[in-house]
Amino acid sequence: MAETLLIYFGLLTAVFGGVSLIKPLKFLKISSRLRGALVLGLGTVAAIAGFTLPIEEYRIATPRTQLDQFAPRYQFGEFHSIRVAAPRDRVYRAMKMVSADEIPLFRTFTIQQSGFAIAMMNFLIEDDGQGACVISTETRVRATDPSAKRRFAAYWRMIYPGSAVIRRMWLRAIKKRAEGSSP
Domain boundaries, the chain: 2-52, 58-178
Q: Nearest-CA neighbor of 45 among 5, 97, 83, 7? A: 7
In order of 71, 119, 138, the CA distances from 63 in angstroms are 10, 18, 14
Q: Which fold has domain 58-178?
A: Alpha-D-Glucose-1,6-Bisphosphate; Chain A, domain 4 (3.30.530)
Find out whether 16 and 28 touch, Cβ atoms under 8 Å: yes
pLDDT digits (tens, 9 = 90+) for 75-122: 888 888 989 999 989 999 998 888 878 888 777 766 754 457 778 888
Q: Which amino acid is at 95?
A: M
pLDDT digits (tens, 9 = 90+) for 7-64: 999 999 999 999 999 999 999 999 999 999 999 999 999 999 998 888 889 999 999 8
- Say if pTM beats, i.e. exceeds, 0.85: no
Find out whether 91 and 178 touch, Cβ atoms under 8 Å: yes
